[in-house]
Amino acid sequence: MISKSMEKLINNNSVIRKMFEEGKILKEKYGEENVFDFSIGNPSVEVPEEVNLAIKTVTSEKDIHSYMNNAGFDDVRQTLANNINERFKTNFEKKNIVMCTGAAGGINAILRTILNPEDEVIVMVPYFMEYKNYVENFYAKIVEVGCNDDFMPNLDEFENKITSKTKAVIINNPNNPSGVVYSEDVIRKISEILVKKQKEFNSSIYIISDEPYREIVFDEIEVPYITKYYNNSLVVYSYSKSLSIPGERIGYIVIPSQVDDFETLAQGVTIAIRILGFVNAPSLMQKVIKECTNVTADMSIYENNRNILYNGLIKIGYECIKPQGTFYLFLKSPIEDEKEFCQIAKKFNILMVPGSSFAKPGYVRLAFCTKTKKIESALPKFKELYEIVKEGI
């Protein structure tokens, strides 16, 4: 018999993954060109040629497939530290970088290091619901903070929900699923509240900034670099989106020297990488990203997709906030029950994820990281869908 906790996870398996699998069935039945799958954030932009070239080149390096320090290759970590310093005017060294198996692996390593059972981790609604599973992996509790109409966190509620058990705050900037970017003003206010609460409870409260979408921003919006605003901040980064390599599972954790108990925390995260079974980030991909620190996939394609989808949906009559980043659009459901709306949409071969999967009912998420022609072809179907549901209201 499997554990009761795993039994629960099986029963509540990811709606996004279910939609993804359902999409494959529909494509086999109706044809790829007739199914409009906006369910999963699987990058459609081609992998940069520099990445493919680096893969071919680094395989000739000696000991490329060998073990290394659990934190990663020293030369890779120093190269990344130098690159971050150049881009964000920081002052990191290799000791501040731990290589990880994607952002998910990095977040779990941090949580394994800092959490005791019954500790609390705050998340900002709407949020990537896997955070809840990550926190519960270590028998801690998730605490949800609501948002305002613009999907920015309700800071009064945030302050009121911080307790002596609060150990961390996870922020996702740019945000999945809403597409908003937390501004410098919001980041400053979050930081000021946490500084005050740390003094009140005589505790360390860490911000874990999950940033796989940092490079996918539009309209010249800048994403604040969290370590400049709050000492006890950790950055988790993944190359899944910026290089279109989600299956390679490669990223890094930034642990600034100014965090409380830096040496112990850095050592703990490094050991967590090992004992969680990752052992180390993939050696080949560590060396590949060392050669691609200033490379990204063509992000202009996502901006074009956003404009076509957003403008088209608004013209039809749908309501949504224009995404500032990521490749997601968070659409207000035309009917109260967004799950019912998603079910009706399937009749038009449109696949979307209900907002309740992100703790925000009444909305649906559309992943526009698909081919541009597919978005253009989908808009007439969205119009038919809108007319059908409006007729039923």
Q: For 272-329, what is the HEC assignment?
A: HHHHCCCCCCCHHHHHHHHCCCCCCCCCHHHHHHHHHHHHHHHHHCCEECCCCECCEE
Taking each helix axis as running N to C, give the angle between helix 74-88 and helix 283-290, from 0 to 180 degrees, rounded to the nearest 10.
Answer: 40
Helix (H, G, I), strand (E, B) or coil at 252: strand
For residue 363 the two structure tokens come to 């909305």
Which 8-state DSSP code applies to residue 96?
G
- Report pLDDT for 100: 98
Beta bridge partners, 142, equal 121
Domain count, the chain: 2
Beta bridge partners, 97, equal 254
- Report pLDDT for 28: 75
**Angstrom distance (rounded) from CA 365 to CA 41:** 10
List the CATH number of the domain containing 376.
3.90.1150.10
**Angstrom distance (rounded) from CA 283 to CA 250:** 9
CA 86 to chain CA centroid, nearest Å: 24
Q: Are residues 195 and 321 in the same domain?
A: no
Q: Are residues 308 and 333 in the same domain?
A: yes
**Angstrom distance (rounded) from CA 211 to CA 225:** 10
- Report pLDDT for 14: 62
pTM, two decimals, is 0.95
Mean pLDDT by 10 residues, the chain (393 residues): 83 68 73 86 95 95 93 98 98 98 98 98 97 97 97 98 98 98 98 98 98 97 97 98 97 98 98 97 97 96 98 98 98 97 95 96 97 96 95 71
Amino acid at 119: D
Q: Are residues 84 and 189 in the same domain?
A: yes
Final residue belonging to a domain, choices 232, 257, 290? 290
Q: Are residues 26 and 70 in the same domain?
A: no
Count the neighbouring beta carbons within 10 Å of the beta carbon of residue 291.
Answer: 17
Q: Are residues 242 and 270 in the same domain?
A: yes
| E strand or H helix at 210 | strand 206-210
Count the neighbouring beta carbons within 10 Å of the beta carbon of residue 261.
Answer: 12
- Report pLDDT for 11: 73
Q: Which domain holds residue 305?
A: 4-47+297-391
**Angstrom distance (rounded) from CA 94 to CA 365:** 38
Q: With CA atoms as reference, report the closest residue to 294 among 239, 250, 247, 218.
A: 239
Final residue belonging to a domain, choices 274, 290, 306? 290
Q: Are residues 99 and 177 in the same domain?
A: yes
